[in-house]
Structure 1
């Protein structure tokens, strides 16, 4: 068993999510959905360059019905709804109790 790039990416993800959760109580006073739109726009912008590089390299997704359905499923349930409910929980009960 060795430490590899995937392990480093997972650790970075944990650290970034910890930072997000900690700083969530200091978010600007705006509607939750507006905040999520801004977060998702930043996320989409951050993956735009690597995605463009993949396309430029000739690597594209196969056009099958399962691909957009999987993207919609992942985009709606674990992304949109999970973040919405987590952000709302932090608003209602605070960071320390929501983290549990």
Structure 2
């Protein structure tokens, strides 16, 4: 329960020193995020966007910190929705 009480308003004169500053407009903070770019390359290192049956490729992930610098020693996991569509070789621990 909230209780509201009336307040009395006086007719006081305006302040004698209202200030001389111009004030500032608050800025909206910039949200920075870590970004991951993934590219797929063929055996010669050329970027590709699709695979044909039996063709292999390498996925390369580049992780960039909020400051725009490469993020070293970052773990990136790859997964597929269908286990019979893609085979990851080796299954773990490749750079």
Is TM-score (shorter-chain normalized) higher than 0.5? no
State the TM-score, normalizing by the size of structure 2.
Answer: 0.23
> Going by fraction, where is helix more abundant, 1 or 2?
1
> Going by fraction, where is strand more abundant, 1 or 2?
2
Instruction: Give 1 or 2 for the bigger CA radius of gyration.
Output: 2
